[in-house]
Amino acid sequence: MKKKHILSGVSGVVLSLFMLGSAMAATGDDNSLESQEMVVTATRIEQDKMDVPFAVTVVTRSDIDRMGATTLEQALRTIPGLQMGVQGNAYPHIEVRGFRDTKDLAVLINSVPFRQLNGSADLTMIPMGIVERIEFVKGPSSSIWGRGAVAGTINIITKPEHIEKLGATVQTRAGSFDTYACDARIVAPYSKGYAMLNTGGSTTGGYQDGTDRDAQNLLLTARHGFSDTFDLGVQYLFSNVNAKRGSTLPIADGEPAFGVKPEDNFALDNASYDGRYSALTLSPALALSDNIRLKNNFTVSRFDRYATGGTTVVAGESNKGWWVSDSEQTGINNDLSLTLKQRTGMVDNTLLVGTYLEIATQEQYNPSYSWSSMPKYGPPDWQTPLTHPDNPATGIKGATKKSDFDQKIFSAYVQDTLDFGLFSVMAGLRYDRFDEELKLSTTQVKADQSDSAWSPRFAFNWRMYNAGNAEISFFANYAEGFRTQLPKLSTKSGATIPQLLDPEETKSYEAGIKSFFLDRRLFAQVSLFETKKKGPRSFRTTADDFLFTNARTKVTGIETEINYRVNTMVNLWGHYAYHDARYEAFKNQSGTSFEGNRVRMSPRHIAGAGVNVATRLLNWNVTANYVGERNLRDNTTGNLQELDPYVTVNTALTLPFKNYQIQFVMNNLFDEYYIADDFSSKDAGYPGEPRSYYVCLRGEF
């Protein structure tokens, strides 16, 4: 009955939104969709979205402001097939097409890779105040962006679309959970370029008890044209986050156990996350002629992070798994590319060639703690120790292990696009060579490996119809992706041995249709895909050790989206995705097979809809998102726990006053209690944010 009730509720919300838009369509003058058509992430070449042979969704700053979005999760509501969650107030995950690790996404800031040495993108460190535009490309993109681009690519662009005059924007925000935030931006154009300053800060008590979070950020950007052929860009990004960790909820029969509420936090008092990130990028560009352009991105970055465990709560008796990771990572990368455009007869040829070099090091310190001496906790309160009550909650501290990681990556890539009439063909190939080494202070044994990967990509686009007020394009692509696996050192039978892991590999087939109708007021996109992945899954063997085993996954599905600009007042959008993500081969260290299991936290059905109503007196935005049933875990046999589907409804009302706007935002309008993320190896999960209220004040000068 509950599932039917939720589904009928979604249907009612969606139907109401579309009926509202239709009812208001009789007023106002028609106009086309906002300028979202040009995208750059899919091929590194700026193209009309109709000519890009991949599924691409764009989120603009206007979209973000109308929704009142202040987190990446909220900003990505309009992208089909996404599910997001945050583990313990610190680690955001994006589930897309059966993948849920940020290592499987190429996360970029202004086309510059944003990731750690192990490939993870710590999305916690990306401030929303700097985001001007987000381009999300589905499917493997390793042929153009290298390692990690196995599920998709997120490019966060910080430059405003139009820089015409000196201006400043200030936004303040206050609301639920003692949340206060302020962001400011100053843009100063001049005859040969522009300079821009973004800065911001926030503090919140968090929706779980004792999950305070403070953040500060700074972005300096400048671009100067020294001549008609040469210009130089400079960007400096600083981000600092200090957060207390929240705990998991115990899950039984797919539901939070023992009446635990979303705000309940059973983490150890000093469980925390402290991160400090800074990066400097120099981007010179040289136009050798009208058709030849040379561009370079040189980046130096530093990421210091201190994080602890102590957050795990399960339905039975368990300790809280205390661990400490204190790391310092430095990296240098350089991406040099040459673009050559040429027309021969009726054929336009765009050739892109480039090289990429990355050198990164990381020092990591891990004090050891005896898990056998940790107190164990359980119901009813998870606060009173059931065993070892006199021991520290963290267990008995032992020696500190130092890990030294070194990684070098050299890459060369080429991509060629031929446009002839209504047809476009693209082929790309990238070669990546990586050398990795791990040394531990506790042993003379080291793990080092050298390996390489080839990443091809082929795509086809056909403007099959372009007449009157309608455009229809058919696209198809085949792509392969990879991500590296850092070497490990494992202890087996008292001996330390290197554990060298093959790269994760993906192969993807996709075909779809994009269309504009009604003088580009209505955009629709549908794509069908199949992705196969081969890569390791991990199992914890001790507090500090994991055993890895290869697994093969197959994901098939369909994704659709529609955006309809009814008139100057009303804009409607909707999306739906069906994903079937299953293991074709997956065994644990004991040989138990999980073949056929659905991938954890991967729902079959994801849908969303929204309406935006704009008048001279107000702007009203409503969004509804549905996430279907999904398995809590995939590495167990028998009765897999299945989490209930859920719907979240959000609304934002904006009132303009000359140069100011006051906005009232309500997220999770009906206070839905749902599990947003899991803990993978335990029957535990993290709750989504409950109902919250915010007031925002914006000023433009």
Mean pLDDT of 383-397: 92
**Per-residue model confidence as pLDDT tens digits over 586-642:** 887 778 888 899 998 999 999 999 999 999 999 999 999 999 999 988 888 877 889
Q: Does 433 score more than 90 pLDDT? A: yes
pLDDT band of residue 558 (cuts 50, 70, 90) is very high
d(CA 665, CA 14): 20
Mean pLDDT of 77-85: 88
In terms of DSSP bridges, do strands 692-700 and 179-190 run parallel, antiparallel, or are they unpaired? unpaired
Quote the pLDDT of residue 493: 65
Q: Does 544 score more than 60 pLDDT? A: no
d(CA 37, CA 23): 28
Mean pLDDT of 13-21: 40
Q: Does 441 score more than 50 pLDDT? A: yes
Q: Does 278 score more than 90 pLDDT? A: yes
d(CA 488, CA 492): 13
Q: Where are the alpha helices (DSSP H) in 596-679?
A: none
Quote the pLDDT of residue 496: 72
pLDDT band of residue 16 (cuts 50, 70, 90) is very low
Mean pLDDT of 214-224: 96
Contact present, 199 and 183 (Cβ < 8 Å): yes
d(CA 502, CA 480): 15
Q: Does 152 score more than 60 pLDDT? A: yes
Q: Does 315 score more than 90 pLDDT? A: no
Quote the pLDDT of residue 541: 47
Q: Does 19 score more than 80 pLDDT? A: no
Q: Which residues of 179-212 are buried (b: 16+ CB within 10 A; e: fewer)?
A: bebebbbebebeeebbbbebbbbbebebbbbbbe
Say whether 246 sits in a helix, a strand or coil. coil
Residue 533's closest CA among 602, 476, 589, 591?
602
**Residue 120, burial from CB neighbour count under 10 angstroms (0-12, 13-18, 19+):** middle
Give the CA angle between residues 155, 161, 165 to the nearest 5°.
140
d(CA 263, CA 269): 15
Q: Does 31 score more than 90 pLDDT? A: no
The pair of three-digit structure tokens given for residue 239, joined into one six-digit string: 């981000």
| Contact residues for 26 (Cβ-Cβ < 8 A; gap 6+) | none
Mean pLDDT over all residues of the chain? 88
**Per-residue model confidence as pLDDT tens digits over 336-347:** 999 999 999 899
Tokens 């590319």 locate to 337
Q: Does 101 score more than 90 pLDDT? A: no
Say whether 27 sits in a helix, a strand or coil. coil
Q: How many CB atoms lie within 10 A of CB 330?
A: 15
Q: Where are the alpha helices (DSSP H) in 109-204?
A: 142-145
**Per-residue model confidence as pLDDT tens digits over 629-659:** 999 888 888 778 899 999 999 999 999 998 9
pLDDT band of residue 1 (cuts 50, 70, 90) is very low
Q: Where are the alpha helices (DSSP H) in 68-119?
A: 72-75
Tokens 């070194």 locate to 406
Give the CA angle between residues 15, 19, 22 to the nearest 5°.
145
d(CA 561, CA 607): 9
* Torsion of Cα atoms, 533 then 535 then 538 then 544, to 10°: -140
Tokens 């935005």 locate to 621
Quote the pLDDT of residue 432: 94
d(CA 109, CA 120): 14
Residue 73's closest CA among 61, 86, 62, 60?
86
Please state, for a pLDDT cut of 90, what percent of the chain lies above it.
64
Going through 393-469 in order, the beta strands assigned E by DSSP cover 396-420, 423-440, 446-467
- Domain 2-700 coded CATH 3.20.20.120: no
Q: Does 349 score more than 50 pLDDT? A: yes
Report the 3 state secondary structure along 541-589.
CCCCCEEEEEEEEEEEEEEEEEEEECCCCEEEEEEEEEEEEEEEEEECC
pLDDT band of residue 367 (cuts 50, 70, 90) is very high
d(CA 147, CA 432): 8
Mean pLDDT of 476-500: 79
DSSP letters of 42-82?
TTSS-EEGGG-SS-EEEEEHHHHHHHT--SHHHHTTTSTTE
Quote the pLDDT of residue 612: 97
Quote the pLDDT of residue 362: 94
Give the CA angle between residues 214, 216, 217 to the nearest 5°.
150
Mean pLDDT of 452-479: 93
pLDDT band of residue 33 (cuts 50, 70, 90) is low
| DSSP element (H, E) containing 357 | strand 347-370
